[in-house]
């Protein structure tokens, strides 16, 4: 798989995908018997793929990936087609003997899976080298960022190594894998095979991104974050976990054919339910994300809650069924409000539903001994709920100390009041769980109904090589 040319054979391509907030259905969404209400967010991760321009006579079989908002966030990969229909094997290269290799499993796995899928359609074509740039909207991180000098770009330079960036919990890994996969497929495949703007293209993207994201995590997640990254806001019911178990490892005999069958759903095995029509944000309302500059270890929390559920099945099922009913009522109330004029609305019912669901979540938190809605977050949300124009709030998804979400009237004065409230928020000593929250900030993020989309490459000219 080599190329030697002075003229680019491919045109630069770019794609973006939104972050997410699981507004209702945290933990429940892990079980196919329940669903989750997930909103996409207008904080996006962007990926741009360009040709590597080489001098005549130079041969190169490399793909270079950069995340230039962070220090030393560069990964170079060699790649080769393996025997026995094993697909494309990707190997990280050491840029310098003085610099140890720092792996990025999400990038590496997404690249391997995407290139493997590409070769199933273009088996006799050369995969040319390329340069891939990853850029993230600033709300994904609590770190303060600075614009480039004399720049018109919306992207900020965080000026820290990636492992020192404080994530806010908006779903960066799913948005990364989705936008990365979309951009790579768009770059290497003709539109007749993959077109992001078609339903068939979005299904290919969803299935491939789910497979590579799960592989990169080393486990099968519920997949709601990938679903919202691809489709935007939706009501989501997960796929059966066994679906991905038969795919096997990259480079194993027959992996490419199995992956192609899985991605194109040739055996009709995908049982995911993604319903966009079931979710709508009423005009005049919006979501607002607030960050506590702390973050949670979500996998450990999930493991502990599931262990509690297994040992206390009757109690847990009763609680989960009550939460499911509350979540369904919440979705119905939002839909009902969307059909009413703002001046005629009464928010009493939706407020009551939010309060009831939060009570149930705190019961689960106490029973499982997992800080799903920690006292520090409870105090923050309760205080916000007293601000005029705030309908209610909750800790989304798995909860903990990631960014929390408020449902508010879409008015400047409401946001200003919340900024004033949290700007003077007194952070007490660490809680009983040993965690002390950091500065409370209002993120410039709201819901986004649109999922993965094609972007114009001119947006990134100040960041690309």
Dihedrals φ, ψ of 423, to 5°? -65, -30
pLDDT for residue 432 is more than 70:
no
**Mean pLDDT of all residues in the chain?**
89
Mean pLDDT of 7-36: 89
Task: Please tell me the predicted confidence (pLDDT) of residue 434.
Answer: 58
Distance CA 283, CA 276 (A): 17
Quick one: fold of 285-448?
A: Alpha-Beta Plaits (3.30.70)
> How do residues 281-291 score in pLDDT, each as one tens digit?
999 999 999 98
Higher pLDDT, 433 or 337: 337
SS3 182: helix
210 has a pLDDT exceeding 60: yes
Give the rounded percent of residues in the chain with a pLDDT score beyond 90: 68
The yes-or-no verdict on residue 218 having pLDDT over 90 is no
Q: Is the domain defined by 13-276+455-460 classed in CATH 3.30.230.10?
A: yes
DSSP three-state, residue 275:
strand
The CA distance from 319 to 335, in Å, is 24
User: Which tokens is 82 given?
Assistant: 């393996």
Torsion 50-53-57-62 (CA) sign:
negative
In a 3-state reduction of DSSP, which class is residue 425?
A: coil
What percent of the chain has pLDDT above 70?
Answer: 91
* Phi, psi dihedral angles at 33 (to 5 degrees): -75, -5
State the pLDDT at residue 59. 57
Looking at residue 436, its pLDDT comes to 65
Nearest to 180 by CA among 205, 216, 215: 205
For residue 168, give the nearest of 286, 73, 292 by alpha carbon.
292
What one-character-per-residue DSSP string does 106-166 give?
Answer: HHHHHHHHHHHHHHHH-TTS----EEEEEEE-GGGBSS--BPPTT---S--B--SBGGG--
Q: Distance between CA atoms of 115 and 181, rounded to whole angstroms?
A: 9
Neighbour-count burial of 100, counting CB atoms closer than 10 A to its CB (0-12 exposed, 13-18 middle, 19+ buried): exposed
Question: Where residue 9 falls among pLDDT bands split at 50, 70, 90?
Answer: low
Q: Does residue 277 register a pLDDT over 90?
A: no
* Cα 74 from Cα 97, distance rounded (Å): 15
Band of the pLDDT at 295, cuts 50, 70, 90? Answer: low
pLDDT tens, position by position, 323-339: 999 998 998 899 889 98
Q: Give the C-alpha separation, 139 to 45, whole Å.
A: 10
Q: Domain boundaries in the chain? A: 13-276+455-460, 285-448
Question: Which H/E stretch holds residue 77?
Answer: strand 74-81
Q: Rounded to a whole number, what is the distance in angstroms from the first to the last CA of the chain?
A: 23
Exposed (0-12), middle (13-18) or buried (19+): which is 451, by Cβ within 10 Å? buried
Rounded to two decimals, the pTM is: 0.91
The tens digit of pLDDT for each residue in 52-80 reads 876 555 556 799 999 999 998 999 999 99
CB 442 within 8 A of CB 422: yes
**CA 16 – CA 30 distance, rounded (Å):** 26
Residue tagged 């190169």 (tokens): 60
Residue 42 Cα distances to 28, 36, 137, angstroms: 25, 19, 9
Phi-psi region of 179 (alpha: psi -120 to 50; beta: other; left: phi over 0): alpha
- Rounded to 10 deg, the angle between the 224-231 and 172-188 helix axes is 50
* Segment 28-58, tens digit of pLDDT: 999 999 999 999 999 999 999 999 876 555 5
Q: Is 71 left (phi over 0), alpha (psi -120 to 50) or beta?
A: beta
Contact at 8 Å (CB) between 46 and 186?
no
DSSP, collapsed to helix, strand or coil, labels residue 391 as strand
- Mean pLDDT, rounded, for 83-92: 94
For residues 54, 56, 61, 65, the Cα torsion angle rounded to the nearest 10 degrees is: 0
Q: What is the mean pLDDT of residues 186-205?
A: 97
């Amino acid at each position: 798989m080599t190329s030697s040319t002075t003229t680019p054979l491919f045109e630069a391509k770019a794609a973006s995908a939104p972050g997410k907030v699981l507004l209702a259905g945290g933990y429940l969404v892990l079980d196919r018997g329940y669903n989750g209400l997930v909103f996409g967010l207008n904080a996006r991760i962007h990926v741009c793929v360009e040709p590597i321009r080489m001098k005549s006579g130079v041969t190169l079989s490399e793909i270079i990936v950069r995340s230039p908002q962070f220090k030393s966030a560069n990964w170079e990969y060699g790649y080769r087609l393996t025997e026995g229909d094993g697909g494309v094997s990707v190997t990280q290269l050491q840029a310098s003997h003085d610099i140890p290799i720092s792996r990025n499993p999400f990038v590496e796995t997404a690249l391997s899976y995407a290139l493997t899928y590409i070769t199933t359609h273009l088996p006799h074509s050369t995969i040319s080298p390329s340069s891939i740039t990853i850029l993230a909207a600033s709300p994904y991180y609590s770190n303060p960022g600075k614009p480039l000098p004399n720049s018109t770009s919306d992207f900020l330079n965080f000026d820290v190594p990636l492992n020192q960036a404080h994530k806010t919990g908006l779903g960066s890994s799913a948005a990364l894998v989705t936008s990365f996969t979309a951009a790579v497929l768009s770059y290497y495949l003709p539109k007749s095979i993959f077109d992001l703007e078609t339903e068939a293209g979005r299904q290919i993207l969803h299935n491939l991104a789910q497979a590579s994201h799960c592989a990169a995590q080393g486990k099968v997640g519920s997949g709601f974050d990938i679903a919202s990254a691809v489709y935007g806001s939706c009501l989501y019911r997960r796929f059966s976990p066994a679906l991905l178990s038969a795919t096997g490892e990259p480079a194993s005999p027959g992996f490419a054919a199995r992956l192609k069958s899985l991605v194109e759903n040739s055996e009709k095995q995908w049982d995911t339910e993604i319903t966009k029509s079931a979710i709508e944000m009423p005009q005049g309302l919006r979501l607002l994300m607030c960050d506590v500059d702390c973050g949670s270890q979500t996998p450990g929390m999930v493991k502990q809650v599931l262990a509690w559920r297994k040992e206390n099945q009757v109690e847990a099922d009763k609680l989960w069924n009550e939460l499911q009913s509350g979540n369904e009522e919440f979705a119905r109330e939002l839909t009902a409000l969307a059909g009413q004029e703002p001046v005629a609305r009464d928010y009493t019912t939706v407020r009551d539903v939010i309060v009831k669901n939060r009570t149930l979540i705190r019961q689960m938190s106490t029973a499982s001994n997992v800080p799903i809605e920690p006292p520090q977050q409870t105090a923050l949300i309760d205080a916000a709920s007293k601000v005029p124009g705030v309908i209610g709030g909750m800790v989304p998804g798995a909860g903990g100390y990631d960014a929390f979400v408020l449902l508010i009237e879409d008015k400047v004065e409401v946001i200003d009041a919340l900024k004033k409230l949290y700007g003077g928020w007194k952070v007490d000593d660490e809680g009983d769980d040993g965690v002390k929250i950091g500065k409370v900030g209002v993120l410039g993020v709201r819901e986004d109904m649109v999922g993965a989309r094609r972007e114009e490459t001119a947006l990134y000219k100040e960041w690309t090589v």
